[in-house]
Amino acid sequence: MSDSGGISDLDKNRALADWLEWQLRRTRNRIRELEVKERQEQRAHERAQAEQSWKIQPKRSGDTATLHRGGCSLSPQLGFINREEAIIALNEPGIEACRVCHPETGLRAA
Protein backbone atom coordinates (compact mmCIF):
# COMPACT_ATOMS: atom_id res chain seq x y z
CA MET A 1 0.00 0.00 0.00
CA SER A 2 1.26 3.55 -0.61
CA ASP A 3 2.28 5.86 2.22
CA SER A 4 -0.51 8.34 1.49
CA GLY A 5 -3.26 5.80 2.20
CA GLY A 6 -4.05 5.11 -1.48
CA ILE A 7 -3.92 1.88 -3.42
CA SER A 8 -0.43 0.53 -4.15
CA ASP A 9 0.83 0.00 -7.68
CA LEU A 10 0.85 -3.73 -7.03
CA ASP A 11 -2.83 -3.74 -6.01
CA LYS A 12 -3.74 -1.54 -8.98
CA ASN A 13 -2.00 -3.94 -11.34
CA ARG A 14 -3.64 -6.95 -9.73
CA ALA A 15 -7.04 -5.29 -10.12
CA LEU A 16 -6.22 -4.44 -13.73
CA ALA A 17 -5.14 -8.03 -14.41
CA ASP A 18 -8.38 -9.35 -12.89
CA TRP A 19 -10.42 -6.97 -15.03
CA LEU A 20 -8.49 -7.87 -18.18
CA GLU A 21 -8.98 -11.59 -17.49
CA TRP A 22 -12.72 -10.96 -17.03
CA GLN A 23 -12.80 -9.03 -20.33
CA LEU A 24 -10.90 -11.82 -22.08
CA ARG A 25 -13.33 -14.49 -20.78
CA ARG A 26 -16.27 -12.35 -21.85
CA THR A 27 -14.75 -11.79 -25.31
CA ARG A 28 -14.00 -15.50 -25.77
CA ASN A 29 -17.58 -16.37 -24.76
CA ARG A 30 -18.88 -13.85 -27.28
CA ILE A 31 -16.67 -15.35 -29.98
CA ARG A 32 -18.08 -18.82 -29.23
CA GLU A 33 -21.63 -17.45 -29.43
CA LEU A 34 -20.90 -15.79 -32.76
CA GLU A 35 -19.30 -18.97 -34.12
CA VAL A 36 -22.41 -20.98 -33.19
CA LYS A 37 -24.64 -18.36 -34.80
CA GLU A 38 -22.50 -18.37 -37.94
CA ARG A 39 -22.69 -22.18 -38.21
CA GLN A 40 -26.49 -22.06 -37.74
CA GLU A 41 -26.82 -19.39 -40.43
CA GLN A 42 -24.62 -21.42 -42.77
CA ARG A 43 -26.76 -24.53 -42.25
CA ALA A 44 -29.93 -22.48 -42.81
CA HIS A 45 -28.45 -21.07 -46.02
CA GLU A 46 -27.50 -24.57 -47.20
CA ARG A 47 -31.03 -25.83 -46.43
CA ALA A 48 -32.55 -22.91 -48.33
CA GLN A 49 -30.26 -23.64 -51.29
CA ALA A 50 -31.25 -27.30 -51.18
CA GLU A 51 -34.95 -26.41 -51.19
CA GLN A 52 -34.39 -24.40 -54.37
CA SER A 53 -32.71 -27.39 -56.02
CA TRP A 54 -33.67 -30.91 -56.99
CA LYS A 55 -32.03 -34.34 -57.16
CA ILE A 56 -32.61 -37.39 -59.29
CA GLN A 57 -32.37 -40.74 -57.57
CA PRO A 58 -31.12 -43.17 -60.20
CA LYS A 59 -33.25 -46.11 -61.29
CA ARG A 60 -32.85 -49.23 -59.20
CA SER A 61 -33.70 -52.70 -60.40
CA GLY A 62 -37.44 -52.84 -60.97
CA ASP A 63 -37.99 -49.19 -59.98
CA THR A 64 -38.11 -45.99 -61.92
CA ALA A 65 -35.82 -43.07 -61.29
CA THR A 66 -37.21 -40.55 -58.80
CA LEU A 67 -37.10 -36.76 -58.76
CA HIS A 68 -36.73 -35.26 -55.27
CA ARG A 69 -36.52 -31.78 -53.82
CA GLY A 70 -32.96 -31.01 -52.76
CA GLY A 71 -33.82 -31.20 -49.07
CA CYS A 72 -35.83 -34.43 -49.22
CA SER A 73 -34.72 -36.85 -46.54
CA LEU A 74 -35.49 -39.80 -48.82
CA SER A 75 -33.12 -38.71 -51.54
CA PRO A 76 -29.55 -39.93 -51.58
CA GLN A 77 -26.65 -37.52 -51.16
CA LEU A 78 -26.24 -36.68 -54.83
CA GLY A 79 -25.48 -33.52 -56.73
CA PHE A 80 -28.21 -30.98 -57.27
CA ILE A 81 -29.90 -30.05 -60.52
CA ASN A 82 -31.50 -26.70 -61.29
CA ARG A 83 -35.14 -25.86 -61.99
CA GLU A 84 -34.90 -26.20 -65.77
CA GLU A 85 -33.27 -29.62 -65.47
CA ALA A 86 -35.94 -30.67 -62.95
CA ILE A 87 -38.70 -29.65 -65.38
CA ILE A 88 -37.08 -31.71 -68.13
CA ALA A 89 -36.64 -34.69 -65.78
CA LEU A 90 -40.25 -34.49 -64.61
CA ASN A 91 -41.41 -34.78 -68.21
CA GLU A 92 -39.29 -37.86 -68.91
CA PRO A 93 -41.29 -41.11 -68.95
CA GLY A 94 -38.76 -43.03 -66.81
CA ILE A 95 -38.72 -40.54 -63.93
CA GLU A 96 -41.45 -40.14 -61.32
CA ALA A 97 -41.91 -37.49 -58.65
CA CYS A 98 -41.23 -38.39 -55.02
CA ARG A 99 -44.51 -38.97 -53.16
CA VAL A 100 -43.10 -37.48 -49.96
CA CYS A 101 -41.47 -34.18 -51.00
CA HIS A 102 -43.62 -33.52 -54.11
CA PRO A 103 -40.91 -31.90 -56.24
CA GLU A 104 -43.41 -31.17 -59.01
CA THR A 105 -45.02 -28.41 -56.94
CA GLY A 106 -44.30 -25.21 -58.83
CA LEU A 107 -42.65 -27.02 -61.74
CA ARG A 108 -45.69 -28.11 -63.74
CA ALA A 109 -46.97 -24.54 -64.00
CA ALA A 110 -43.86 -23.50 -65.92
- Domain parsing of the chain, residue ranges: 1-51, 54-97
Q: Which of 8-12, 22-26, 45-49, 82-86 has the lowest mean pLDDT?
A: 45-49
Structural contact between residues 103 and 68, judged by C-beta atoms closer than 8 angstroms: yes
pLDDT digits (tens, 9 = 90+) for 61-91: 777 899 998 888 887 777 889 889 999 998 8
Q: Which position has the higher pLDDT, 54 or 23? A: 23
Q: pTM for this structure? A: 0.58
* 81 bridge partner residues: 54
Say what the pLDDT of residue 75 is. 75
Listed in sequence order, the residues at least 6 apart from 93 whose beta carbon sits closer than 8 Å to its beta carbon are none
pLDDT digits (tens, 9 = 90+) for 13-31: 999 999 999 999 999 999 9
